[in-house]
Amino acid sequence: MSRKRYIQIRVTDDELKEIKERAGNVSTSTFLRQLALSQPIAQPPTPSKEVIHKCDPELIRQVNHIGNNVNQIARHLNEGNKLSNSILIELLNLQTSLDETVQRVMKDDS
């Protein structure tokens, strides 16, 4: 089998000395390869996600969709474009409605 890949690691002088001593008459590459491939490695536990509030997945998708729309509006404004007063009033109404919905969902979840 032809080995074509190369791995480079950084070690201190003391670590290199210890690795070479442990390898004995075996090349450092062979020693490290055998060591790495023969040892089971315990993976760190996946951190659990804390559920703050339980919500309907469809509600989450809709709020995400609204957030995307708000980002598009922000991009539009950042490019120097303007919004009409009617759109601004609709955005304020939407914000009020979202605030009320979030407060209701949080109260229901308690």
Residue spans per domain, the chain: 1-39, 57-109
Residue pair 54/109 in contact by the 8 Å Cβ criterion:
yes
Average pLDDT of span 95-100: 83
84 versus 13: the higher-pLDDT residue is: 13
Degrees, nearest 5: CA angle 30-34-37: 135
Round to whole Å and give the CA distance between 68 and 95. Answer: 14
Confidence of residue 68 (pLDDT cuts 50, 70, 90): confident
Q: Which two tokens stand for residue 24?
A: 């004995």
Average pLDDT of span 83-88: 82
DSSP state of 64: H
pLDDT value for 50: 75
Residue 109 has pLDDT above 70, yes or no: no
pTM attached to this predicted model: 0.39
pLDDT value for 88: 81
Mean pLDDT, the chain, rounded, equals 84
